[in-house]
Amino acid sequence: MQRIKIADLLRSNEIGKTFTVKGWVRTRRGNKQVNFVALNDGSGINNLQIVVDMNQFDESLIRRITTGAALSVEGELQESQGSAQKVEILAKKIEILGDCDPEKYPLQPKKHSLEFLREIAHLRFRTNTFGAITRVRHAMIFAVHEFFNKKGFYNIHTPIITGSDAEGAGEMFQVTTLDLDNLPRDEKDKIDYSKDFFGKPTNLTVSGQLEGELAALAMSEIYTFGPTFRAENSNTSRHLSEFWMIEPEMAFYDLNDNMDLAEEFLKYLIQYALDHCMDDLLFLSKRQQDEEKNKKEADRSIELIEKLRFVLENSFVRLTYSEAIKILENSKPNKKGKFQYPIQGFGTDLQSEHERYLVEKHFKKPVILTDYPKEIKAFYMKLNEDNSTVRAMDVLFPQIGEIIGGSQREEDYEKLVKRMQEMNIPEEEMWWFLDTRRFGSVPHSGFGLGFERLMLFVTGMTNIRDVIPFPRTPKNAEF
């Protein structure tokens, strides 16, 4: 008999019909007459209740139905007497597909801390929380592609191994096949990279943008969605060493078009989650409230679904970096010395504490900051007339801080070369990038959305290690 997924069965109302389900046992409880087994196969947050008439089965078989064991069950769908579910399966045949020794199984039918679950990331998919996160993550990936496909953007695979170290977004991981214990040296005793796999030093990419720009300047609108790597030793709850980034790049878009797209995109993703993941979001909302119940009222997050709706219903506030600095300078925490990094006028690189102050305390809405000082932004951003600021835009979200970073790009060859010289970026290595400005250059813009930052926002989780299946962080590459 063909297997039906539990989520589909729970939606079904074919009472009296026989079905086969397969999955993993979450719990078994009951008495001498009847046992209730909660079965989950990952298709949804809700378990299927299997009713086991103890007179119909061998005790030896029932003893093997332990938390974590895998079962195949054939039985009849019936209306449930219990209030927790509408329907349940009355078991006719039970087959143990995989035993699970309860003495040794690390996951007990109780609440485990997120820290502990990170240590058993190979098993945490089997918890309600990670089941929900996995499904929401999938839905968000799908929604990203749907959004851009509907808009006529082309998906581009940009290289993961890069030969340029000019991407400028931070420290990189080197890729090499050289024997580190026995490095080839040239006459000057420098490492001889001509002997390396690619004949030159290579790294893992920190961004697909530069190659994305090449495609946009022919295809008009493209996006990348790939893994990016940063070898920064920033052990925070918002940074991973390996994370996924979505980077649209659009010819003929100025900074305003870019901001409009970013806002529309984020709202689309959030709406998609509300439309397609409500069961999981309700679970995650309750989880968050439980987690915070010991906190003071003022420190509690707003309810997850309310928070998501709030973003949909409000326009993002748009203001310049200079205006933001004035607000921050005059803010209470700055005057009282409460910021870890005090605001030191124009030129201060904003930290997440400042970003969150603007969003959570001052405006109480998502904020897009524009026109940052050129010194604290990348070389490829378009210089403003004032010669001191660039056409950058960062989208700031509650709880997260920066969720998107983007800009209008410098399309003028001379100005771009000048910026590269000022920032010590070797022109020779970037000849291909500069060529786009020599041959049919046009105004264009783009941005990068950190996929796991989006996931933090949508799920209400607070640590980025908990929204990616296998986190990579400094000193941690298990699984």
Any contact of residue 460 with ligand ATP (CB under 6 A)? no
Min separation Cβ 311 and ligand ATP, Å: 16
Which distant-in-sequence residues (6+ apart) come within 8 Å of 268 by Cβ? Answer: 143, 147
Min separation Cβ 170 and ligand ATP, Å: 6
If the CB atoms of residues 452 and 466 are measured against ligand ATP, the closer one turns out to be 452
If the CB atoms of residues 307 and 356 are measured against ligand ATP, the closer one turns out to be 356
Sheet holding 389-397, edge to edge: 154-155, 221-229, 242-251, 444-450, 401-408, 389-397, 367-373, 317-320
Any contact of residue 65 with ligand ATP (CB under 6 A)? no
Min separation Cβ 378 and ligand ATP, Å: 8
Among 398, 405, 406, 471, binds Mn ion (CB under 5 A): 405
Any contact of residue 403 with ligand ATP (CB under 6 A)? yes
CB-based contact 75:52 (threshold 8 Å) = no
Strand partners, 249: 222, 446
Min separation Cβ 391 and Mn ion, Å: 14
Among 226, 405, 443, 446, binds ligand ATP (CB under 6 A): 405
Tokens of 292: 């915070």
Tell me the window of 28-36, 76-84, 125-133, 400-408 that interacts with ligand ATP (CB under 6 A): 400-408
C-beta nearest to ligand ATP: residue: 450
Using alpha carbons, list the distances in angstroms from residue 449 to 172, 223, 225: 19, 11, 9
Which distant-in-sequence residues (6+ apart) come within 8 Å of 443 by Cβ? Answer: 251, 252, 253, 254, 382, 408, 411
Q: Which does 249 bind (CB under 5 to 8 A by kind): ligand ATP, Mn ion, none?
A: none
Helix, strand, or coil here: 161?
strand
If the CB atoms of residues 402 and 466 are measured against ligand ATP, the closer one turns out to be 402
Q: Which does 450 bind (CB under 5 to 8 A by kind): Mn ion, ligand ATP, none?
A: ligand ATP
Tokens of 466: 């908990």
Q: Which does 443 bind (CB under 5 to 8 A by kind): Mn ion, ligand ATP, none?
A: none
| Alpha carbon of residue 123 to chain centroid | 20
Any contact of residue 396 with ligand ATP (CB under 6 A)? no
Any contact of residue 452 with ligand ATP (CB under 6 A)? yes
If the CB atoms of residues 39 and 403 are measured against ligand ATP, the closer one turns out to be 403
If the CB atoms of residues 409 and 453 are measured against ligand ATP, the closer one turns out to be 453
Any contact of residue 366 with ligand ATP (CB under 6 A)? no
Q: CA 388, CA 373: separation in Å to the nearest integer?
A: 6
Q: CA 37, CA 308: separation in Å to the nearest integer?
A: 35
Q: How many CA atoms lie within 13 A of 119 on its CB side?
A: 6
Any contact of residue 450 with ligand ATP (CB under 6 A)? yes
Residues 220 to 259 in contact with ligand ATP, rule: CB under 6 A: 230, 239-240, 243, 245
Q: Assign residue 152 a region: left if phi > 0, alpha if psi is -120 to 50, beta otherwise?
A: left
CB-based contact 399:301 (threshold 8 Å) = yes
Q: Which residues bind Mn ion (CB under 5 A)?
A: 405
Q: Which residues bind ligand ATP (CB under 6 A)?
A: 169, 230, 239-240, 243, 245, 402-405, 448, 450, 452-453
